[in-house]
Amino acid sequence: SAKIQRKAVTAIKRARHLALLPYTAEHTRVTRLKKRG
C-alpha cells in the first residue's frame, strides 16, 4: 500500500542522511585543510 511505501521511503531517506553525515563532515574538513595549505 501507499502508506507502507511512504514509510519505506522515509526510512531510506533517513538512513541515507545518517550515512552521509560522517562523509560530509570528513569532506568539509579535508577541503578546509587543503585551502589553508
Residue 4 has what pLDDT? 95
Count of structural domains within the chain: 1
Q: How far apart are CA 35 and CA 31, in angstroms?
A: 6
pTM of the model: 0.47
Residue 1 has what pLDDT? 93
10-residue stretch averages of pLDDT, the chain, 37 residues long: 94 83 74 73
User: Range of 7's domain?
Assistant: 1-37
C-alpha cell at 13: 531517506
Q: How far apart are CA 7 and CA 2, in angstroms?
A: 9
